[in-house]
A = this chain, B = another copy of it.
Amino acid sequence: MIDVESANRAAVERMTSSRPMLIGVEKASSVVPGLSGRVLLHAGPPLPWARMSGPLRGAIIGAAIYEGWAKDAAEAASLAERGEIAFDSCHHHGAVGPMAGVISPSMAVYVVEDRAHGGRSFSNLNEGYGKVLRYGAYSSEVLERLRWMNETMAPVLAAALDRAGGIDVKALVAEALHMGDEGHNRNKAGSLLYLKLLAPHLGPVSPGAAVAAEVARFIGDNALSVLNPVMAACKAMADAAHGVEGSTLVSTMARNGTDFGIRVSGLGGRWFTGPSAVPEGLYFAGFSGADANPDIGDSTITETAGIGAFAMAAAPAIVTFVGGRSADARAATLEMYEITVAEHPSFTIPALGFRGTPVGIDLRKVVELGVTPRVNTGIAHREAGVGQIGAGLVRPPIELFEQALEAFAERYGFAGG
């Protein structure tokens, strides 16, 4: 009989001992496996165009125009409808992207290497706030920013990272958790640490002081700059824990704006999916829950790896963007200890006496206690072309975990008691 406890210990040990280094920035088609031709990757479990929500469609339209496959939204939508653009889940290509998570072949991606277990993971570059592709906006302003990011900023970041000898993302996250970040919705400190590590290299590698200054300002002014490298690092940690025979550890949580999907370490590549919920949270002026799209994005990889909502006790100031009182932030972390198998040896929370964050979601505990993982998230407008309208909190439906536990019982002949 398989020993689920040991398998989960092995899996979480692989997750927490992963050592993700940010080693570069490259053109997606040259490093992301299988990303060539008219292929677009997106967040969450795979789904066809017909089932995609507004913001995901918006991001796909933007990417198709950006790639020069279509001249406008109508043409892009028509290509997508006729099956002339292939879609796949980022997660199938070692990649993760926040919100719509659309990665097209000519976009630049961060490259993270796991120095402990091998393996590489990828994420796109963060665009900042407001009207941005990842929230489904695709106006000319959005595409111009993408062009500047990919053509001007990306080579500077690549050369600066190279000159810096890479960045230890795990060390950066550990420090940021001592500075009021939770690593998902709040990456203020992490983004400044990222700027600090890059800043001495920007001038020497840039084509002139003006470009170095623009990059420093773009990275420094965007409190989510480091979210994407952090997500790629969490993907590396989660992937390290994936594929452990007999383990009930959740190794993926991701949403595509229609479905919430999870995968389980001991159950291979199979997705368990169910309807994605609308987050509860704070809306920007002029918007309400009626405008909100169901939850979207791969950024739940942070909670999968033991940060984000799981580390909220480290980030009481986050309630100013996601709602609630600062005591709720502490309660969120305390609750997540109930459904996880370990306390993170590297990610600690000063306000809890330096206790490690809850890490390694055990499917069995989720089902047994009826406590689903907490997720912090941004909120996209439900229509293509609008963008972000708020931020809040959400949970995956319990059905996903019930389905997965049934599949585990079938695969291993028992439910892992």
Contacts and interface: CB of A to CB of B under 8 A. Distances in A.
A231 interface: no
Contact of A213 (B192, B203, B214, B220): B203
Interface range on chain A (Cβ under 8 Å from partner)? 35 or more
Interface in A294-327: 316-317, 319, 325-327
A212 interface: yes
A interface SS class: helix
Contact of A354 (B180, B212, B217, B326): B326
A50 interface: no
Contacts of A317: 178-179, 350
Interface stretch (A63-71, A194-202, A235-243): A194-202
A192 B199 CA distance: 11
A188 interface: yes
Contacts of A195: 192, 195-196, 199, 220
B193 A350 contact: no
A329 to B, nearest CB: 8
Given A209-B209, A210-B204, A189 B179 contact: yes
Candidate in A180, A181, A197, A216 with the most chain B CB atoms within 10 angstroms: A180
A371 interface: no
A331 interface: no
A351 interface: yes
Interface string A70-109: 0000000000000000000000000000000000000000
A217 B204 CA distance: 12
A197 B209 CA distance: 16
Interface in A106-137: none
Contacts of A351: 316, 326, 351
Q: Top 7 A-B pairs ranked by shortest CB distance?
A: A203-B209, A192-B192, A316-B350, A196-B220, A200-B217, A199-B216, A317-B350
